[in-house]
Each structure stands twice: as C-alpha cells, then as structure tokens.
Amino acid sequence: MGRKPRAYQRFFAELKRRRVFNTAAIYGGVAFVVFQAADFVVPALRLADNVATAIVLTAVCAFPIVLTLAWFFDLTPDGMTRKAPPQKGELEEIVSQPRWRRWPSGIAALAGISLLLTGVVWQLEFSQDPGSRVPFEGEGVHGTVAMLPFFDLTGEGEAPYLAEGIAEELSAALIKVPGLTVLPRASRAFSGDGSDDSPPATQDPPITSFLEGSLAYAGDEVAIDVLLLDPAHGEPLWRGEYLVQKGSFLAALDGIARDLLSQLGITLSSDAAGLLIPPWTQDFNAYREYLGGRYLSRQGTPTALESAIEAYHRALVLDPGFRKAWAALAEAYLLFTEYGGPPIPEILPYATAAVGHAAASGAEISEGVAASGFLRWSQGWDFRGAEQELRRSIEMDPINPISRYWLARVLTSQRRWMEAREQVDAALALDSHLPAVYLTLGLLLMCEGDEGAQDAFRQALELRPEMHPAAFLLGALLALDGDRASAAREFDRFSALTGTDPGPFQAYLSALADPAMIPEAVSALSGPGFFGPTQAAALLAHLGEREAALTLLEEAAEIRSPYLLWANALPQFNALRSDPRFQGVMAWVGF
C-alpha cells in the first residue's frame, strides 16, 4: 500500500466515482449547443427578446442542481437510485491510477464548464443584432452631426429618393456609434409638404459638423459626393468623392460611412466589419425600387401608400431575399390602414406574411421588429410581447417615429397614460408633420379625458384630409362633448372617405337628441360596419344601450377584432366597466 491519499485527492476521487466530472462535461457541451441554436430559433419564431436570456439563466441556475443530483443519485434502468457509499479501498484505487487515466474526466469537466461560461458570455454580451451596435476604440464619442439634404444630380428627375436614401443609410450607420448624436434632417424629410426642418445652428449638445452630399450617374456607375461642413462658417472640413459600381452600391456606402467616422475622429474596432450598412441586396434596381417605396410611404396618403406597396413588390420580384424590403412592405400595409386604406382585418394577412419573410433568416430589421410588435398587439393581443418588440425596434432605430407612436398606442390601450405621452412627445420631436402621431395623440387625450383631443384630431386631418380614422374619432368625440352638428359633419366626412352608409351615424345622432329614436339607432348600429362591432358598441354605450353594446363587444371578442383592444380605454365604455360581462370580455382580451 502506498501513502494515504490527502483529503483533496479523496474529494476529487469521489467526484470521479460519482460521475460529477462526466455530468459537468456533458451539461456544458449541451448547454453551449442550445445557446447557439437559440441565436437562430428565437428570432426566427419571433419570440420575445428575453427568451434567449431566460434560457441562459435557466441553464446557469440548473447547473449546480444537476451536479448535486449527480453527487447523490445514480441513473439506472430502474430509475433514480441513491448513490452507494464507496467500497473499502475504492477511493485509494482511483487516486493511485496513473495520470493518463485520472485526468481526462477532470479535463472534460473543465471543458464543459468553459463551454457553459463561453455560451453565457456570448448570449448576454455579444449575441445581438449586428446592426444595433458598433464596437469602437478610444474614449467615449461626443459630438453632433446634422444631416443636410443630399441632392439628385442625375438630371433624370426620377431619383430624388435615391439621394435621400444615401442620407438615410449614412444617418442610420452613424447613429449606431454610442455617444454620437445624429440630427436626421434628410433621412426623415419625406413628409412631402416642402417644409424646412433644417437643424438650428445652435443647440444642446452643439453641432460639431454638417453632412451633405449629392448623387449622379456615370454610365453603369454611381458618383457620390460627400461633404463635412464647419457649422460656424459652412466651410468644407472634408470631402469624399466616390465612383462605385451599382452592384456594390451598399458595400460602397459602408466604406463611405467608415470614412466619415474616421474624419470625425472615431476609430472602429477590428471586429466591426459589416456592422454599419449591411448589404441588403446586390440588385441596384431592387434597391432603387425599395427607396422609391420609402419615399412614397412617407408621403402618407392612400394613393402614395398604395404606390409604395407596388414599389416594394417590384423590388421583391427582382430580389425575393431582400429582407429590408419585406420589412418595409409590412410597415406600409399597416400604415395604409391608418391613412385611408381598408380596415386592419383586411390587411393583417398580408402584413403578417411580410413580417414572416423579413424575419426568415433570423436577423432582425428595425422596421420588421416594429411591424411584428404591432401585429403582436393588434392580432395576437400579446401586450407584453408587443411592448418588448417595439422597444427593441426603438433601440435599433431611435430616429424612427413610427415605432414610438405604435408603442404609445399599445400603452394607451392599457391606460398607461404617462408612458404613452412620453412616446408621443418623442415621436413629435422626431417628425412634427406626421399625421399619424397627431391621431395617436388625439386617441391618448380622448381616452385620458383631456380637452386637447379635438385639436389633435383636427391637426391630423389638416395634414392628411384622407385619414378616415381621425374623422371617425373626431365625430365620436364631438358627439360625446355634445356638439352634434360638428359631429355630423365629421361622420359625413368619414362616410364619404370610406364609401359607407351614413345612416347609422345619423340614427345615432338623432337618438342623442331624441331618446325615442334609440330603438332605430340600435337597429342601424347593430349591422355590419366598416370597423366592425367595436366602434358601433362605443356609440351604443354612449346612448346607454348596455345590452346591445355588450352583445357587440362579445361578437368582437369572438372574431378577435383588433379594435376591441380600445374598449379598455375609450371613454364611451366608462359606464360599463363595473359590469361583469364587460369585465369578462376584457379578461378574454388579456386586460
């Protein structure tokens, strides 16, 4: 017999005998594989962004539990049995084995633990959308770049959106750098009203440089001229002239963005390749159609949005794998319902399909994430998932007002007035000429009981007279406030815009003036309507027709009407909130 093993040797021998080392090795390897699979599966299935984090935390918390079970129990054909104590001399025999027999299990356990820790660090620190952050070297970046217009010098009169597209891509690239403020004047100047939104010469933080440029065709190539200007005197600080092939247009823009950052004194880390402007497509014509769709979409009229949808379809015919065009298409379908198009239920299948195509590869695009969030709310009644996706979209693209006012609607439907107002104010700061923001503001103020709601709806209609949801809501609010004559004009406007029968609204207003007309109003409002049963239920609730209103709300729940979400917040339903039937409908929705 050799010398008696020391205490730590006996402990490690016991770990080997109880197969704790083997368990650690297998667990770590399996956990690492699961983490890598989650990188693809979670975005592809459009699960909430904290699912991957939950998987990691579960794996970490379960690790010591699994090792403890391995210490105390054996897995046998008869099930779990308690581990038998070591036989006499068994531990000594393990300790006395040569190293080549003792060490492999320990090394495997260390490898498993290393894989587990590597997977945890990767998931929690580095596994993010590659377009959402940019590694850079040096001290924190401090500065503000104001985007000025990029000019179309092609002479063809068909590509102002191409020049604007360059500005938008560069703005989106620069804003990824932490600490660098970008005033996206050009990238958000698609309002189509000719207003001048040039950034002020003085602001906090002060502007450190202006960025402008131009675009021209040179045969099969594109000439791009980019200038950084001194904000005090307008003198050029730097000028870059580029002649690029159309097939490598986006790759060239990525290089231009890197040159800009270099001129601004920002050095990217060596691992930042491909993180600024992803090569969404290799087809220049597909990209041009996409930018044309963006230009039309931001004009915010039914005709322009319909044309934008057609442009996106042309882009996708040229390149079916153009994920950013799929995301923009989903966004356009949803905007179409707001600006005078068909009601949401008719659009949802198309928007859902476009979101699915945008997320097919597992990578995330801010517009696609926002559209997915809106669909989670309106179609799936998934408030938490919708809020998470919309907030993630805002993190990915902080200068897109659409994500913010969609989030405001999700919050308003849950009666979270202050949080919703913060998002509306942020959207207005980004684009004060966007009619849908005023529509959202009007909804928020109407639900909250603020007298400014009428002005917000009127502002939306002044900017976009075709916006039939604003006309309906303003009519309903005026009727609620007792102004039946003005309400009649707005309801007539709504009927004219949607091509629907004004009779139910006339019957409703007549019943407000003469309660004897209520049965006629109930009959008129209980039939099919443009928006479905929820809006009719709101008008009936205002008339005090509790039974008829609740019946329509239950019908809305059966067909999963996306408008039913607003019953939780609209003031017409205040008198019904204590009714068990109303509470049952709201519980069915998820409130």
pLDDT digits (tens, 9 = 90+) for 256-269: 888 888 888 777 66
Structure tokens, 313: 């379809």
Q: Which range has the top average pLDDT, 107-121, 191-205, 403-417, 553-567?
A: 403-417
Q: What is the mean pLDDT of residues 103-131?
A: 62
Q: What is the pLDDT of residue 472?
A: 94
Query: What pLDDT score was predicted for residue 197?
Result: 46
Q: At residue 412, does pLDDT exceed 60?
A: yes
Q: Is the pLDDT of residue 331 over 60?
A: yes
Contacts with 134 (C-beta within 8 Å, 6 or more apart), sequence order: 176, 177, 178, 268, 272, 275, 276
Give the integer Cα–Cα distance in Å for 567 and 574: 9
Q: What's the confidence (pLDDT) of residue 127?
A: 45
Distance CA 47, CA 271 (A): 28
Residue predicted with more confidence, 461 or 48: 461
Predicted pLDDT at 130: 41
Q: What is the pLDDT of residue 552?
A: 93
Q: How far apart are CA 40 and CA 342, in angstroms?
A: 35
* Of 186-190, 223-227, 257-261, 489-493, the least confident: 186-190
Assign 116 a pLDDT band (cuts: 50, 70, 90). Answer: low
Please tell me the predicted confidence (pLDDT) of residue 196: 45
- Name, of 23-37, 72-86, 255-269, 493-507, the range with top average pLDDT: 493-507
Residue 461 has pLDDT above 70, yes or no: yes
Give the span between the Cα atoms of 306 and 43, in whole angstroms: 29
Looking at residues 292-296, what average pLDDT do you find?
A: 86
Specify the 3-state DSSP secondary structure of 244: strand
Which of residues 519 and 41 earns the better pLDDT score? 519
Architecture of domain 136-279: 3-Layer(aba) Sandwich (3.40)
Residues 423-453 pLDDT 10s = 999 999 888 888 999 999 999 999 999 889 9
Q: Is the pLDDT of residue 310 over 70?
A: yes
pLDDT at 445: 96
Query: Which of 288, 369, 370 has its CA nearest to residue 322?
Result: 288
Q: Which residues contact 331 (CB under 8 A, 6 or more apart)?
A: 297, 367, 370, 371, 402
Q: Scan for tokens 């804003």, then name that residue.
A: 175
Answer yes or no: is pLDDT of 455 > 60: yes
Mean pLDDT of the chain: 80
pLDDT value at 17 more than 80: no
Q: Which span out of 25-29, 190-194, 352-356 was modeled with the highest average pLDDT?
A: 352-356
371 neighbors 397 (Cβ within 8 angstroms) = no
Question: From CA 446, how far away is CA 456, in angstroms rounded?
Answer: 10
**Residue 448: its pLDDT value, please?**
93
DSSP assignment string, 487-520: HHHHHHHHHHHHT--SHHHHHHHHHHH-GGGHHH
Residue 88 CB neighbour total at 10 angstroms: 7
What does the H/E/C string look like for 309-351? Answer: HHHHHHHHHHCCCCHHHHHHHHHHHHHHHHCCCCCHHHHHHHH
pLDDT in tens, 493-548: 999 998 989 999 999 999 999 999 999 999 999 888 777 899 999 999 999 999 99
Confidence class for position 474, pLDDT limits 50, 70, 90: very high
DSSP codes joined into one string, 204-242: SSPP-EEEEEEEEEETTEEEEEEEEE-TTT--EEEEEEE
Residue 59 has pLDDT above 80, yes or no: no
Query: pLDDT at residue 9 above 90?
Result: no
Q: Which residues have CB under 8 Å from 514's CB, separation 6+?
A: none
The pLDDT of 224-233, averaged and rounded, is 84
Per-residue pLDDT at 186 exceeds 60: no
Highest-pLDDT range among 100-104, 151-155, 514-518, 528-532: 514-518
Which pLDDT score is estimated for 403?
Answer: 93
Checking if the pLDDT of 210 tops 90, the result is: no
pLDDT value, residue 114: 76
What does the domain layout of the chain look like in residue ranges? 7-126, 136-279, 282-367, 368-589
**In the structure, what pLDDT confidence band is assigned to residue 274 with cuts at 50, 70 and 90?**
low
Task: Please list the residues that pair with 241 across neighbouring strands.
Answer: 225
How many CA within 13 A on the CB side of residue 260? Answer: 34
Residue of 524 and 152 predicted with greater confidence: 524
pLDDT at residue 561 greater than cutoff 60: yes
| 404-429: average pLDDT | 95
Q: Which two tokens stand for residue 22?
A: 């083997």
Same fold, 282-367 and 368-589: yes
Residue type present at position 372: S
Do 410 and 386 form a contact (C-beta atoms < 8 A)?
Answer: yes
C-alpha angle 46-165-394 in degrees, rounded to nearest 5? 35
At 137 the three-state DSSP class reads strand
- Which fold, 282-367? 1.25.40
**CATH superfamily placement of domain 368-589:** Tetratricopeptide repeat domain (1.25.40.10)
Token pair in block for residue 391: 């907030």
Mean pLDDT check: name the lowest of 111-120, 134-143, 346-355, 556-565. 134-143
pLDDT attached to residue 191: 35
Is 132's pLDDT higher than 50? Answer: no
Pick from 41-55, 72-86, 374-388: least confident: 41-55
How many C-beta atoms lie closer than 10 Å to residue 237's C-beta?
15
Residue-level pLDDT at 492:
95
Top-confidence residue, 79 or 310: 310
Q: Are 315 and 289 in contact (CB under 8 A)?
A: yes
Picking from 523, 566, 573, 521, the residue whose alpha carbon sits closest to that of residue 546 is 573
Taking the C-alpha atoms of residue 367 and residue 397, their distance in angstroms, rounded to an integer, is 8
Helix (H) or strand (E) holding 144: strand 143-152
> Residue 416: left (phi > 0), alpha (psi -120 to 50), or beta?
beta
Token readout for 409 is 């609607």
Q: Please give the helix or strand (H or E) that residue 296 lies within, else none.
A: helix 284-297
The pLDDT value recorded for residue 126 is: 43
Q: Where are the beta strands (DSSP E) in 157-198?
A: 180-183
CA angle 574, 580, 586 (to 5 degrees): 65
CA distance 395 to 181: 14
